[in-house]
Amino acid sequence: MNTKKIVKTLIKFARREYKEKRPIGVRVLRVKEALVLSKGGPIKTLSVSQIKNPYYLVVAEYKNQMRIYSYSLNGLLLGAENLDITKSLLDKIKKKTVKEYEFPK
């Protein structure tokens, strides 16, 4: 499957999650690349970036908790976990991801 189809299936899942469980909001996020290696002086001659698993996240936010679903590059569900909402967790998610879609608009 190409990335557009994968994102569409994740948006369908997020829409169903929003309709059935009624969280405050649901976001589909893509994880940013992380810099693995950088060589060179002031001018970088070589830099290697890598995307680590999970590739996509679907985050359902409730009043004091959030449920994070992790998906691979192929759109396969890797797992899910419930976490308490903290400022450091929200900052970390915002820094390391890119928003693909969000409910409600």
pTM: 0.82
Query: In 20-96, where do the E strands start and end?
Result: 25-31, 34-40, 44-50, 56-61, 65-71, 77-84
Number of domains in the chain: 1
Write out the H or E segment, with its range, that includes residue 99: strand 97-103
Per-residue pLDDT of the chain (105 residues; tens, 9 = 90+): 788 899 999 999 999 999 999 999 999 999 988 766 677 767 767 767 777 668 999 999 999 999 999 999 888 999 999 999 999 999 999 999 999 999 886
Q: Give me 22's structure tokens.
A: 């009624």
In angstroms, the CA 46 to CA 77 distance is 34
Phi, psi (deg, nearest 5) at residue 79 = 160, 175
Residue 98's domain comprises 3-103
